[in-house]
Amino acid sequence: MSDPLERTQAQRYGYHLSRYCAQLVGVTMTGLRCEGRHYIPDSGPVLVCSNHQSFFDPVLIGLACRRRLNYLARKTLFNHRVFGHLIRFFDSIPIERDGLGISGIKETIKRLRRDEMVLMFPEGTRTSDGEMHPLRPGFCSLARRGSTTLQPVGLDGAYQCWPRHARYPRLGRLAVAFGPPLRPADFVNWDNDQLIAELAHRMQECHGRARCLRALG
Give all domains of the chain, ordered by start, each with its CATH number. Answer: 4-216 (3.40.1130.10)
Return d(Cα 173, Cα 175) in angstroms, integer: 7
Return d(Cα 28, Cα 43) in angstroms, integer: 30
Radius of gyration of the chain (CA): 16
- pTM above the 0.85 mark? yes
Cα–Cα nearest to 108, from 179, 47, 183: 47
Return d(Cα 112, Cα 170) in angstroms, integer: 35
- pLDDT by 10s per residue, the chain, length 217: 444 457 888 887 788 778 778 777 777 778 899 999 999 999 999 999 999 999 899 999 999 998 999 998 888 878 887 778 788 887 888 888 666 778 888 999 999 999 999 999 999 899 999 999 999 999 999 999 878 999 999 999 999 999 999 989 998 999 999 999 999 999 999 999 999 999 999 999 999 999 999 999 7
- Name the residue type at position 81: R
pLDDT of residue 2: 42
CA angle 111, 64, 84 (to 5 degrees): 55
